[in-house]
Amino acid sequence: MKRAKFLAIFAAAIALGGSSLAAAEVSELKMMSQYGIGYMQLTVMKHDKLIEKHLAQAGLGNTKVTWATLGAGAAANDALLSGSLHFAAGGTGPAFILWDRTKGGMEVHGVAALSSMPCILVTSNPAVKTIKDFSDKDRISLAGAGSSVQTIYLQMAVAKDFGIANYKKLNPLMVNLPHPEGLRALLSGSGQIDAQFASPPFQERALEDPKIHAVLNSYDVMGGPNTFLMVWATKKFRDENPKTYKAVVDAMKEATDAINADKKRAAEIYAQEGGGKEDVKKLLAMMNDPQMRYTMAPERVLPYAKFMFDVGIIKHQPGSWKDLFFPEVHDLPGS
C-alpha cells in the first residue's frame, strides 16, 4: 500500500510539474512589424490570426497576441532586450549586431528570414550618378541610420570604391528617418533630404517622380539575392516557451506559403491593413518582380556578416549562416 501511495503521489507530482511547465508559457505574446511589403508574412499573420490558430492547436488558446509597429531594427532591439517584445523584426544588420552583443548571455539568434529584395538608393540630385558623386551638401535618409541593413549595404559599397578603411565615409550624410517620413522629405523638394535608401514600396514610389533616379542597388553590392528582412528572438524565450515559439514559426511557414500561392490576396491584405491607401495593382507588380522573394531561407547572410566582422561592427565571426539562426531553419537552403 505504501508503494502504491508513493507512486500515486509521484505521478501527481509529475502531472503538476507538467502543468507548471505549461503555465510557464507566456500569457501574452508580444509581436511587431515594420513598414514595407518585405514584412508581408507578419501582415498576413496578424490579419489571418495565424499565430492564434497555431497557439490553439498547441493547447495555448488563451494566449493573447499583441502587435506593435516600430520604425527601425535598432528600436526593435531595445524593445526585445527590455522585454517589451518577444520577437523582433527588421534588417539583418540590427539582428546580427544583437546576435554579437548577446553571445554568452541572452543569446539572440535569427528565427527565420522574411524576404530577399533589392534595396535601391535614390536621389533627386542630378549630379549624383554613383556614390562617388555625393558631397557634404547631400543628405541621405535611412531608417535606423548607422545600424540598419541599408547602412551596411552603403558601407559595403563605400568600402569597395574608397577602400575598407574608409567604409564610414558617407556616414555623416545619413539622416535617421522612418521610410514614410524620409520619402515625404525627399519628394517635398525642400532640399533637406535629397536621397533615400529604403525598400519596396517606398523606392518605387520615389522613382515614379521624374526628378528621382537610382544610384545603387543592394543586389549589385551583394552579388545577387540577399536576405533583407528577418525575425529574431532570444534563446531564453525559445527555451522557456517552446510551444509558443513553435506556434510562431509554424505561423510564419503558413503565411509564407499563402503569400507565394496567392500574392494578390496578400497585396489586398497589405492595402487593407494600411487603411486602404495602397494601390493593390502596384503592390502586386512589385511582389511579382522576379528579384523579390518571400522565403524563410537566409540568403547571402554570411558574406554580409563577414563584412560586419571585418570592419569591427561585430566582434564574433560566424563560421556558417547556421551560427546566426536557431535550428528550426537549418534544413533550408541558406547561405
Query: Positive or negative, the Cα torsion across 83, 98, 108, 297?
Result: positive
pLDDT at site 276: 64
pLDDT at site 277: 67
pLDDT at site 138: 96
d(CA 37, CA 35): 7
How is residue 285 written as a grid cell?
Answer: 507588380
User: Domains in the chain, start-ordered, CATH in brackets?
Assistant: 2-116+226-329 (3.40.190.10), 120-222 (3.40.190.10)
d(CA 199, CA 123): 14
Contact 294, 225 (CB under 8 A): no
Three-point CA angle 141, 146, 151, nearest 5°: 65
Q: What is the mean pLDDT of residues 35-50?
A: 93
Residues of the chain with pLDDT > 90, as a percent, come to: 74
pLDDT in tens, 223-251: 999 998 999 999 999 999 999 999 999 99
Q: What are phi and psi of 322, to 5 degrees?
A: -70, -25
What distances in angstroms separate CA 50 from CA 55, 60, 65, 156, 203, one per listed residue? 9, 13, 10, 37, 30
Residue with cell 486602404: 276
What strands, in cross-sheet order, belong to the sheet with 120-123? 174-176, 140-142, 195-197, 120-123, 213-217
The residues with which 141 forms a beta bridge, in sequence order, are 175, 196
d(CA 180, CA 67): 19
Q: What is the mean pLDDT of residues 23-28?
A: 85
Side-chain-side CA neighbours of residue 61 (13 Å):
3
Q: What is the mean pLDDT of residues 132-140?
A: 96
Residue 19 has pLDDT above 60, yes or no: no
Three-point CA angle 22, 23, 26, nearest 5°: 100
Confidence category of residue 201, pLDDT binned at 50, 70, 90: confident
Residue 15 has pLDDT above 50, yes or no: no
Report the chain's mean pLDDT, rounded to a whole number. 90
> 280 vs 147, which has greater pLDDT?
280
Task: Please list, in sequence order, all residues whose beta carbon lies within 8 angstroms of the beta carbon of residue 205, skipping any fewer than 6 positions away.
Answer: 183
pLDDT at site 74: 72
pLDDT in tens, 205-225: 999 999 999 999 999 999 999
Query: Positive or negative, the Cα torsion across 144, 294, 252, 46?
Result: positive
Confidence category of residue 18, pLDDT binned at 50, 70, 90: very low
The amino acid sitting at 8 is A
Residue 20 has pLDDT above 50, yes or no: no
How is residue 192 written as a grid cell?
Answer: 533637406
d(CA 100, CA 4): 53
pLDDT at site 71: 60
3-state secondary structure of 234: strand
Task: Please list, in sequence order, all residues whose beta carbon lies within 8 angstroms of the beta carbon of residue 332, skipping any fewer than 6 positions away.
Answer: 295, 296, 297, 298
Residue 328 has pLDDT above 70, yes or no: yes
Q: What is the mean pLDDT of residues 18-25?
A: 53
pLDDT at site 69: 80
pLDDT at site 73: 61
d(CA 186, CA 183): 5
pLDDT in tens, 69-109: 876 667 788 889 998 999 999 889 889 999 999 999 999 99
Range scoring the smallest mean pLDDT among 7-11, 127-131, 157-161: 7-11
Q: What is the mean pLDDT of residues 120-139?
A: 96
pLDDT at site 278: 76
